[in-house]
Amino acid sequence: MENQSIPLIGDKFPNLTVTTTHGKMELPEAFKGEWFILFSHPADFTPVCTTEFYAFQQRYAQFKELNTELIGLSVDQVFSHLKWTEWIKEKLDTTIEFPIIADTGAVADRLGLIHPGSPTSTVRAVFFVDPTSTVRAILYYPSELGRNFDEILRMIKAFHVADKQGVAMPANWPNNELFGDDVIVPPAATEEEAEKRRGKDGCLDWWLCHKPLEK
């Protein structure tokens, strides 16, 4: 791996050749034209991680509907991933359909995912990568806290709306305490535009306007 800084929001996702449970893949090329979510977990055969993989799989069809693929990662080898997903299928009656990267540590290190307290495990992280291979969001969780998968799904939905309609989402969208599922209009860019917005329906002030979500 090249000695480069870890990818940040707005950066292009680095080119990586990875070994997965679905064979070798080239990232981000394998998901060209799609969104993808790369998420890391500390280790296979661990309680919290097992609940997370189950949760992701339960929502996999919803992610697919949003043109979004999933790919997992941990510093475990393919045989470990395969035995773990076999256990999930046998015990939880759930087949994990998305690939899992088997890593020696090089991929995790390139992405800044090595846990500071343990060189043999990865932190819980989530990379959101858009169809242009740009990193749009990154989430980090401690080892003791499982992820909120409805929030991850909400973020993908919000990105789709933001990109299509050129708007922003208020807190807790689509259940905002002030505006419900309305979206935020970008602030005025000129004095003339700002003046037109004063007193306009949907505008609390020239810099805070909302409108109904386009269906």
- Which residues belong to the active site? 49
CA distances for 139 relative to 36, 46, 128, 157, angstroms: 14, 20, 9, 16
Angstrom distance (rounded) from CA 175 to CA 178: 9
Angstrom distance (rounded) from CA 145 to CA 51: 11
Q: Is 56 within 8 Å of 48 (Cβ atoms)?
A: no
Compute how many other C-beta atoms are within 10 angstroms of the C-beta atom of residue 13: 19
Q: Report the relative pairing of strands 35-40 and 68-74 from DSSP bridges.
A: parallel
* Contacts with 137 (C-beta within 8 Å, 6 or more apart), sequence order: 9, 126, 127, 128, 155, 159
Angstrom distance (rounded) from CA 15 to CA 152: 24
For 24, phi then psi, to 5°, come to: -70, 145
CA angle, 65 as apex, 111 and 181 as ends, to 5°? 90
Q: Is 60 within 8 Å of 98 (Cβ atoms)?
A: yes
